[in-house]
Structure 1
Amino acid sequence: MSLTEVSPAGAAEVFARRTPTVGVEEEFLLLDPDSWLNVPLSAAARAALPPAVRERSRAEFRRSMLEMVSPVCSDLPQLRRHLLENRSAAADAAAAVGARLVAVAATPVGEPDRRVADTARYHAIARHYGPIAHDPALCGCHVHVGVPDRELAIQVCNGLRPWLPVVQALTANSPFHDGADTGHASWRSIALERWPSLGPSPYLESARDYERTVDELVATGAMLDASLVLWWARPSSRYPTVEVRVSDVCPTADDAVLVAALVRALVATVAADVAAGRPAPRLPDHLLRAAHWNAAHSGLDGTLTDLRSRTARPAWELVDDLVTTVGAALDRHGDRAVVTEGLARLRTHGTGATRQRRAHAREAGLSGALAGLATATTSG
């Protein structure tokens, strides 16, 4: 039976008997190795990739960005292997054209050339949104989890909303902008608030409600077209997946694998709630946005908003709650050990933002911190 022929609850029951597939899209910056300014060399770097790896690269909105995409994976060791292959090949290609590949989520120093990539679509976006389309480049990590039923995907996105600020805090990796510390752990998240079609997804009743909402946003001009649904979680427009877009690009491949494991477990846990008839909480938009702002500001180095109790709590307490919530799914997928090890690493070394700040202080400057981050980009 096709999942599309049953209710969301019925689709969720079928889904619960499977281990969902997972894939990751990672965006990287190309930086000058001396000045650490962004350099518009993405086309040249893509051309320098080996042909087999070039198929896993994508042209991005900005000429200083290089996106690498994993294949669809069934387990985390497979995903890790592909991410390391992608990063290594992309770093070699960047070096061949005189740049460094750096897994950092916001332009740390500056971007002299802010032209968008030369495609009709990107030029249309730039005309429609004006100056915000020429903000310095920002890089994310997008996790896709296979959910082959559209109605179930909508309900899953509803259920993810209370937990995505915690995922955002775990992945904060962009404290610097314009050569200075912004005071935020994820400047990428703060800068993206200027775009009208980004941020937490609205609570939606059904796939028809999703389509109606998107049509209304296109009609108002907030979205140029239906493909610009860029919410933190959405049914993918290209694949039978739920796509979670809240994360900064991660400093290392192992950090990205940790995020993928948690997101996959969250999707499976929410689907189990749908199968059991437990509705997702309807959270006030102002509180949800506040929770995301707090996550972007503090990362794991302060408090986060517990959207269940509507109180501020120590960040690591909410991380522990997240792991407890998705524990059954982690065990079912065989991912418990990866998550335990990954979170222990974060407790010891901090988020990407914390690591950058420590390196900045230790190296007495941003250049040393970025050099270290470039080296970490291709590490496990």
Structure 2
Amino acid sequence: MTGPTVGVEEEFLLLDPFTGHNLPVAEQATAALPDDVRAHSRREFRRSMVEIVTPVCTDLGQLREHLLGLRQEAAKAAATAGAQLVAIGATPVAEPDLAVADDPRFRQIADHYGPIVADPAVCGCHVHVGVPDRDTAIEVGNHLRIWLPVLQAMGVNSPLHAGADTGHASWRAMQLDRWPSLGPTPYFADAADFDRTVATLVGAGAMLDETMVLWHARPSARYPTVEVRVADACPTVADTVLLAGLVRGLVGTALDEIAAGRPAPAVPDHLVRAAHWNAAHTGLDGTLTDLSSGRARPAQELVDDLLTTATPALRRHGDLEPVRAGLARLRERGTGAARQRRVHARTGDVTAVLADLAHQTLDG
């Protein structure tokens, strides 16, 4: 049994193992990668970040093998540059070197957006799922809107900033709110509506150009996919595989709805934005906004609803049992943010949190 293709882009921080500071050694680490792995790496905006991209996969077992192998090689390469590879959503302690990577495109972004570019580095996990065409990608994005805050709550992994707990489960999300072209995905009538909106935002200067479409779900500019980019960098390979399986299940569910002629739920943008803020603030340790009813409900109830909704597609893809096992593990261990807070409560030491995260980064 197979479903739509799936691939993942993972961003990681390069941290000093003694201080927890970001280290601007991405070029050295990338140069140390084996040639076949370097082909799956991407230059990132900040010099303390690396990005690794999996091949296109057809099942979650294959995806897991690629993720683990790529993380292992990236960690070895980081060590040659004196850094730890850490899967975390936002800079936890400090980033002394705030220069962007030496790239004309990155300098153009820095000139356009000004001081917000100097915010400490943040890292996400982006899941790509294959779709037939761009119009379908737009429709799928509409159907995903009510579920993306739940995925975001499951993927929180950045409670720390400047060496302290922010009180937010995803500080990454709070930082990204300062960028005008990021955030919740708007509802679009079709691809032409999407293009008109992007052109208007470019004209207003909110987007530097059409490549700055960085909403939580979007038609990929590079691949024939829907790209979901709502989660922080996931602490373990198992967390990433769970996220990918759920995204693929929700995309499959959306394709079923589209084929049946059922429109996506119409939810006001301000409620969608509030639901995302709530998800980033509390993760799974509280209530989330049920966008189908507008009510606050226990987070785990909405996770259960998501699983129920996606179950037919998950079963069709052969992903139901792996996803159920992943959700049981998440319920037992908690989100990445919850795990960080437990280590910090036990040790009172941020570097102990980061050492634990470095270990989790290589956990299959």
TM-score by length of 1: 0.95
Is 2:51 the partner of 1:67? yes
Distance 2:325 2:3 in 1: 21
Shift of 1:364: 2.3
Deviations 1:70-89 (A, max 9, x none): 00000000000000011000
Decide which of 269, 281, 300 is 2:253's aligned counterpart.
269
Letter in 2 for 1:154: I
Match of 2:81 in 1: 97
Identity, in percent, stands at 65
User: What count of residue pairs does the alignment treat as equivalent?
Assistant: 364
Distance 1:113 1:148 in 2: 43
Deviations 1:162-181 (A, max 9, x none): 00000000000000001100
Letter in 1 for 2:45: F
**Residue segments in structure 1 that go unaligned for 5+ positions in a row:** 1-16
Decide which of 108, 126, 131 is 1:124's aligned counterpart.
108
Letter in 1 for 2:361: T
Instruction: Classify 1:140/1:74 alpha carbon distance in 2 versus 1 (closer, same or farther; 3 Å).
Output: same
Question: Aligned runs of 1:163-182 on 2, under 5 Å?
Answer: 163-182=147-166
Distance 2:117 2:348 in 1: 33
Match of 2:173 in 1: 189
Distance 1:325 1:218 in 2: 36
Match of 2:4 in 1: 20
Secondary structure (helix, strand or coil) at the match of 1:326 reads helix
Alignment RMSD (CA, Å): 0.8
Question: Aligned runs of 1:87-236 on 2, under 5 Å?
Answer: 87-236=71-220
Moved over 3 A (4+): none
Is 2:230 the partner of 1:246? yes
Shift of 1:201: 1.3
Deviations 1:90-133 (A, max 9, x none): 00000011000000000000000011111000000000000111
Letter in 1 for 2:286: G
Decide which of 296, 299, 302 is 2:286's aligned counterpart.
302
TM-score by length of 2: 0.99
Match of 2:28 in 1: 44
Letter in 1 for 2:57: C
Decide which of 312, 330, 340 is 2:324's aligned counterpart.
340
Letter in 2 for 1:320: D
Match of 2:19 in 1: 35
Match of 1:316 in 2: 300
Letter in 1 for 2:321: A
Secondary structure (helix, strand or coil) at the match of 2:315 reads helix
Match of 2:70 in 1: 86
Distance 1:307 1:258 in 2: 22
Is 2:314 the partner of 1:330? yes
